[in-house]
Amino acid sequence: MLRKLFSQLGTGSREFSNRDQSTVFHYHSVTKHRFEGYARSLGYLDWETQPDPFRRFYGAELLPLKFMHPDDAPPYSAIFGYSQILPEKVSINSVSKFFELSLALSAWKEIYSTRWSLRINPSSGNLHPTEGYLLIGSMEDGSLARSPKVCHYQPSVHALEVRAEFSEQVWQELMKPFPEGSFLVGLSSIHWREAWKYGERAFRYCQHDTGHAIAAIRFAAATLGWSLVVLEDLSDDEVAALLGISRSADFKDAEPEHPDLIALVVPKKIDIDIPLSLSKEAILDIEKANWQGKANRLSPENIDWEIIGQVAEACRKPKTDSGLRSAVVDSRRLSALDLALASNSQLSSSQIIKQRRSAVNFDAMTEISAKDLYRILSAVVPAESKSELAPPWDAVVWPTSVHLCLFVHRIVELLPGLYILLRDSRKLDQVKAAMRPDLLWQKPPECPEDLPLYFLMEGNCQQLAKQVSCWQDIAADGVFSLGMVAEFEDSIDKYGSWYYRRLFWETGMIGQVLYLEAEAIGIRSTGIGCFFDDPVHEIFGFEGWKFQSLYHFTMGKPVEDTRLTTLPAYSEELKRNRV
Ligand SMILES: Cc1cc2nc3c(=O)[nH]c(=O)nc-3n(C[C@H](O)[C@H](O)[C@H](O)COP(=O)(O)O)c2cc1C
């Protein structure tokens, strides 16, 4: 029988089927920014407790990775049809490249005597809560792993910290259902890193960052001709056991890591149906392996934002049974991609991936063509058939639940105003019914037939976009900005409270595609986590909990901050011995 829990503060008259669901809605409600006040945070930066951006495992053996030759990567356009890329053999070189193009440092910035590093994967406030792991079997040449291992990726020196070693027999049992040469990559989040600056809303930002990281590892795999798919049916407990982050003895004073996911990497196109979980017995064996290293403490003191612990617990993922991931028949994107492919096909994927940055200012005048807009938007629409998905959408098995509400400012052939991109055209009636009735729903001129983009209302919406994005100029001064609106209530009702995190991950993946697509046409993006939630809903007429805007984004011609100096990600000295 359904246990009905009645609404808590700010969740309206909704009833909940269990306490976890009520916790998630409560969390989402109280962490909304409102015109009357921002979500709870310290309100200032306590530099004394600024978290160390790098997690280290003291006492763990360090395996240095190689550095790639900058030209040794396929063209950017090829990674969306990755099966055209000849797969590289799994070796120390290719695994090094995989990390260098996904979770490594991308540069250092310096002003006066202050220096900070940037990474390939973006992060709210550059705080980087996402940690990366590798689980890999022994290699023929013994170059990286003589025995199967669990390693933590250390971006500060582009190296692996060996956390555990275990037998070949256990590895074989773990990887039995998968093609030869496959390995695993894990992600976890340290919530404190974001909470230090953003307080209670930080849990949301950690999830965005996980989504960005999923797309980043998917694209890096694609540059090597490899497939990557999230093993969706694992429980959080299983992920934690495999990554060694539930080992309290190794995390005594250290800020905990929360399990996110394990993804399977197959060094070719997946041509068989694969399960989305791992052998329970093998997981237990790895848990009992010989673990080394103690996690470092990131800050001398932490503030316990209680609600973050509560929501994290309420969306802990149980084991699920979504069945198999079928082999991908062919990779394709919408025809809009073909329109502009020729002009971008020569840019290298590593160049685009490594040069990705967030803009801090736009010039408020540059325009882009409608053709470029259609191309960019086509990259975030997964094909309707799961068997035809292109990266990064082939990495996940979730249904498409997030749509883009656009504030169009400077697109040459298009009227400025409000637009919507339905990332799944089958949702047209459902989304339309949830929005205000006076919208136009017209296809813009020359818009490709298979791109579900609609013109809703004409008008200069620069001020509006800025106002709802916490008064940030970047939302008004670019070519467009947008709110990512998720099918919120139905998704959580259908799958459970743990699905809350998946919705944010989907938005982060969209963000990563937009970041790269902007670079590909010579402009720049910025993710926007700070926005006023309900005023955004009001503009488009969304009421109640059916749809919620979870992440904002903007794109335009950047104006560089000339006071900053940019330095290389890794010193020549470090690289010298690692080629
Ligand atoms: C989830 C997320 C939210 C962000 N929110 C904002 C924002 O509200 N305003 C802003 O100026 N930048 C925002 N950013 C940009 C980050 O500050 C930027 O990614 C970070 O400083 C790292 O710099 P990089 O992207 O150049 O590597 C956001 C980025 C992410 C990933």
Region 253-267: what's the mean pLDDT? 97
Look up the pTM and report it: 0.96
pLDDT band at 15 (very low <50, low <70, confident <90, very high): confident
Non-local (6+) Cβ contacts of 384 within 8 A are: 424, 425, 426
Tell me the CA–centroid distance for residue 215 and ligand 1, in Å: 16
pLDDT value of residue 5? 36
Tell me the CA–centroid distance for residue 207 and ligand 1, in Å: 13
Non-local (6+) Cβ contacts of 305 within 8 A are: 40, 195, 199, 200, 202
Minimal-distance CA residue to ligand 1 atom 1: 124
pLDDT of 4 strictly over 90? no
Query: Is the Cβ atom of 117 under 6 angstroms away from ligand 1?
Result: no
Q: Say yes or no: 484 and 529 in one domain.
A: yes
Q: What is the 3-state secondary structure (H, E, C) of 36-104?
A: CECCCCCCCCCHHHCCCCCCCEECCEEEECCCCCCCCCCEHHHHHHHHHCCCCCCCHHHHHHHHHCCCC
Amino acid making up residue 563: R
Burial class (CB in 10 A: 0-12, 13-18, 19+), 168: exposed
Q: Which of 50-59, 137-146, 459-468 has the lowest mean pLDDT?
A: 137-146
Query: Is the Cβ atom of 202 under 6 angstroms away from ligand 1?
Result: no
Query: Is the Cβ atom of 124 under 6 angstroms away from ligand 1?
Result: yes
Q: Say yes or no: 171 and 316 in one domain.
A: yes
Among 325, 344, 367, identify where a domain stops.
Answer: 325
What is the number of domains present in the chain? 2
Peptide bond between residue 53 and the one before it cis (omega within 30 degrees of 0): no
Region 549-571: what's the mean pLDDT? 96
Q: Say yes or no: 319 and 340 in one domain.
A: no
Residue 41: inside a domain, yes or no?
no
- The residue with tokens 């490709």 is 448
Q: Say yes or no: 266 and 387 in one domain.
A: no
Q: Specify the CATH number for the domain of residue 439.
A: 3.40.109.10
Q: What range does the domain containing 216 cover? A: 79-109+121-325
What size, in residues, is the chain? Answer: 579
pLDDT of 341 strictly over 70? no
pLDDT in tens, 395-432: 999 999 999 999 999 999 999 999 999 999 999 999 99
Query: Is the Cβ atom of 125 under 6 angstroms away from ligand 1?
Result: yes
pLDDT value of residue 471? 98
Residue 2: inside a domain, yes or no?
no
The DSSP secondary structure of 98-127, one letter per residue, reads HHHTTTSEEEEEEETTEEEEEESS--GGG-
| CA nearest neighbour of 408 among 228, 554, 569 | 554
Tell me the CA–centroid distance for residue 518 and ligand 1, in Å: 15
Query: Is the Cβ atom of 478 under 6 angstroms away from ligand 1?
Result: no
pLDDT band at 3 (very low <50, low <70, confident <90, very high): very low
CA distance linking residue 341 with residue 319, whole number of Å: 41
Tell me the CA–centroid distance for residue 439 and ligand 1, in Å: 31
pLDDT value of residue 11? 57
pLDDT in tens, 21-67: 999 999 999 999 999 999 999 999 999 999 999 999 999 999 999 99
Q: Say yes or no: 291 and 347 in one domain.
A: no
Minimal-distance CA residue to ligand 1 atom 22: 126
Tell me the CA–centroid distance for residue 209 and ligand 1, in Å: 10
Task: Determine what percent of the chain falls in helix, strand and coil, rounding each to the nearest 5.
Answer: 35, 20, 45
Q: Say yes or no: 361 and 317 in one domain.
A: no
Non-local (6+) Cβ contacts of 309 within 8 A are: none
